[in-house]
Amino acid sequence: MKACFMGLGYIGLPTAIIAAKHGIQIIGVDINPNVVEMTNQGKLHIVEPGMQELLQEVVSDGRLKASTVPEVSDAYFMVVPTPFKGNHEPDISYVESATRAIIPFLKEGDLYVIESTSPVGTTDKMTNLIFNLRPDLRDKIFIAYCPERVLPGNVIYELVHNDRVIGGMNEVSTEKAVEFYSQFVQGTLHRTNCKTAEMCKLTENSSRDVQIAFANELSLICDKAGINVWELINLANKHPRVNILQPGCGVGGHCIAVDPYFITADFPIESQIIAKAREINNYKAFWCAEKVENIMLKFELEHHRKPTIAMMGLAFKPDIDDLREAPAKYITTKVMQSCNNADILVVEPNVKEHKVFKLTDYKEAYEKADIIVFLVAHSVFKSLPYDDKKIILDFCGIYKK
Ligand code: SAJ
């Protein structure tokens, strides 16, 4: 069996590698020639523990080859980005162009699968596109939607062990896709239709966004009421049917802060809670920046000098080096812009160098600063002793104080 993966990014490349490792012949396609070249040299262009060794193995024994153009295969997988446009409208143009690129190669009996997070109805749209251009293939190919669920950093394990949802345009398509994924997935493959599978992916990430928004809203209430939100959530979670997540300085990354808009854009009247959750999580970052600015002004009035401030963390979540859509980066930028001349030390222990921020070692910054702002709950920060002579703004629960 030969499979063609359109898109060699954070999901496409690991999936292609794991499929190759399980004996499937893979052609991996990417529009970026550097990605193609690096992949063919066995060099991983993304950061993912354990993946480098696997890539080298499948490239050297010829099971994975990368190219900028597709090749005739038995199955085709669309694993390209689906960003949103300025007004939070989903942009499926990459899925469409990847689909257009493989249409000439399709033949009777082939499987076509979309993995990219997509608005409801995308699989139907691509089905129409395929049959408009290739009416000869009507009822002769299999079409399905199968979203990924992996957590970056734990991809090798989760790609194999997580359950997956597979929704075909009809039952035979679902079965054909289940047959493909069962070659390397040990989790249960749950069968449904394509619209439900599309909505399921959006629901998973929106559910997490709404739950985090609840925790963030509690943090705003508790700040005003003079209650320790960490203690409160810990106590509330002692109830057998309550499980509140943790507040932070906002929600970042390319999934949870994006996918809910795919629902709100198409269902603006119905999706009240989902839209509000996005607003609350975005507002939380703005609120944190304002808090820092106010504390700085207060310090200046009391001490007749500008404070030294340590902004602790830039990543979008703890213990990673990924700064995409990170609220901590937004807060740091906003604080730097609003208070020129103040001495701001930027800390991100998981990144060596940054082209915009001059980075300072976390211990040195903690030592030097008058105001410590904890933005990301990186493990190393938890070893810093609590110094009550400093002003500490703990937005992510380092000390849970
Ligand atoms: N966060 C909080 N409080 C929490 C948990 C998370 O503020 O209690 C914040 C994080 O700091 C971060 C953001 O939420 O800024 C997102 O982090 P995350 O760990 O919740 O999720 P991602 O974006 O790394 O990965 C998610 C996962 N989805 C779910 O858990 C439902 C992953 O399984 C998906 O595969 C991925 O999105 C995706 O690609 O869609």
Q: How does pLDDT run across 265-293, given as a tens digit for each residue?
A: 999 999 999 999 999 999 999 999 999 99
What ligand 1 atom has the least distance to the C-alpha of 208?
Answer: 31
With beta carbons less than 8 A apart as the criterion, state whether 309 and 369 touch: yes
Structure tokens at 91: 């942009």
Q: How far apart are CA 206 and CA 238, in angstroms?
A: 25
Task: Give me ligand 1 centre to Cα 255, in Å.
Answer: 7
What ligand 1 atom has the least distance to the C-alpha of 317?
Answer: 11
Q: How far apart are CA 49 and CA 69, in angstroms?
A: 28
Q: How far is CA 116 from CA 6, 119, 144, in A?
A: 10, 10, 12
Average pLDDT over every residue of 245-254? 96
Average pLDDT over every residue of 93-104? 98
Q: What is the pLDDT of residue 86?
A: 82
Instruction: Write out pLDDT tens, residues 24-35.
Output: 999 999 999 999
Q: What is the DSSP string of 348-360?
A: -TT-S--SSSPB-
Q: What is the pLDDT of residue 377?
A: 96
Check: pTM over 0.85? Answer yes or no: yes
Instruction: Write out pLDDT tens, residues 107-163.
Output: 999 999 999 999 999 999 999 999 999 999 999 999 999 999 999 889 999 999 999
Instruction: Write out pLDDT tens, residues 314-362.
Output: 999 998 888 989 999 999 999 999 876 679 999 999 999 999 999 999 9
The mean pLDDT value of the chain amounts to: 96
CB neighbour burial string for 359-381, b if at least 16 within 10 angstroms, e if fewer: bbebeebbeebbbbbbbbbbeeb
Q: What is the pLDDT of residue 341?
A: 67
Using most ligand atoms within 8 A of CB, pick from 158, 208, 288, 314 the residue to mutate for ligand 1: 208
Query: For residue 11, what pLDDT band results from cuts at 50, 70 and 90?
Result: very high
Query: For residue 368, what pLDDT band results from cuts at 50, 70 and 90?
Result: very high
Is residue 201 annotated as part of the catalytic site, yes or no? yes
Range of lowest pLDDT (37-51, 295-309, 337-351, 380-394)? 337-351
Ligand 1 binding pocket includes 210 (Cβ within 6 Å): no
Among the options 4, 194, 255, 288, which is catalytic? 255
Q: Which domains does the chain have, with CATH numbers?
A: 2-187 (3.40.50.720), 226-394 (3.40.50.720)
Ligand 1 binding pocket includes 252 (Cβ within 6 Å): yes
Which distant-in-sequence residues (6+ apart) come within 8 Å of 139 by Cβ? none
Which residue has the CA at smallest separation from atom 28 of ligand 1?
205
Ligand 1 binding pocket includes 245 (Cβ within 6 Å): yes
Q: What is the pLDDT of residue 47?
A: 81
Average pLDDT over every residue of 362-385? 96
Q: How far is CA 96 from CA 78, 88, 248, 254, in A?
A: 9, 19, 36, 20
Place of tokens 């446009």: 85
Average pLDDT over every residue of 201-212? 98
Q: What is the pLDDT of residue 320?
A: 87
Average pLDDT over every residue of 370-376? 98
The candidate with the shortest Cα–Cα distance to 211, out of 183, 244, 181, is 244
